[in-house]
Amino acid sequence: MGLLDSLEQEAEKRRSGEADEAQRRAERDEIYRMQLEPAMDALQAYLQRFMANLKIVAPRVALRHPIPGYGDVVAYLDHDYDLRTSKQTQAREIKLVSHATVASAECPSAVVRGSGKIKTVAALFQRHRLGGMLAPEKDPGGEVVAATFKAKGRIPLGLTASIDAASAQLKLGFANYDDFTTVGRVVPAAQVDEALFEEIGRYLLREPNSLLREDLPDNIRLHLKAKVQQQEIRRRWEARIETLQHEEVAMLRRRYTLAGRIAEAFGRLRRWRRPAG
């Protein structure tokens, strides 16, 4: 093949590729206009009804978010919803923001020992705005070696739903509902319907749902379930061991109080004064 033939062949491939891409772009634009935009209108209407009813009914819905080294932070939804929307030429976004108030009375009052662990827990508390350490104990060098933590404050929550013509899909993001993190899902346009909205509502109210569930083989699902159970058992044992350690420390402190030291001194004195047999 001559040079000119080779160049013409390459140019034809590129023209064909550009034509294919233009066709795909046109198809995505049509999906965006004909399917996703009407679906976003329907989702916005659903969320407006959803939050209006919840502000009246105000069901008591609990969140439990574990913090390593501390325990579970328990909070309850405030139902103080605020729906925000933004729209551009080929993109659109809906945000539903709210909060959950930490139930301090239901959260552990945990004594954390060791400067490293204290710094880790303190950093997590600061990041999630859960308050600071209480009653810090310092060593002679001024280093904090023990501190009590008790969660308080409010947890920001958020749902973000966005579409754009470039992807022709619905992108969902949920902040701080399952944990102190954001999780998400990408939904094809054909699956954005009333059934999906129902799953979103159930997810926000922590009711049984399959919104973020993946279709996994049974053996993998069973393995993941067993792993979660093992982690839960380990957390329980760690909490139990920590409680026993605290009880042991308290017992030793009682034993070596002033009264205990006086009794021990009198015992040594009696043994010293006892005549030799």
pLDDT in tens, 75-125: 999 999 999 999 998 899 999 999 999 999 999 999 998 888 888 999 999
Q: Sign of the C-alpha dihedral, residues 39, 40, 42, 43?
A: positive
- Compute the distance between CA of residue 172 and CA of residue 183 in angstroms, rounded to an integer: 8
pLDDT of residue 222: 63
pLDDT(161) > 70 = yes
Count CB neighbours of 110 within 10 A. 18
Strands 133-138 and 144-150: antiparallel
pTM, two decimals, is 0.69
pLDDT digits (tens, 9 = 90+) for 197-255: 999 999 999 999 999 875 445 554 565 556 666 766 776 676 666 656 656 665 665 56
pLDDT of the residue at 139:
82
Q: List, in sequence order, every residue forming a beta bridge with 149; answer none if it has no partner.
A: 110, 133
Cα–Cα distance between 35 and 147 in angstroms, integer?
Answer: 55
Task: Give the model confidence (pLDDT) of 138-149 as tens digits.
Answer: 888 888 889 999
pLDDT at 74 exceeding the cut of 50: yes
Are the C-beta atoms of residues 82 and 135 closer than 8 Å to each other?
A: no
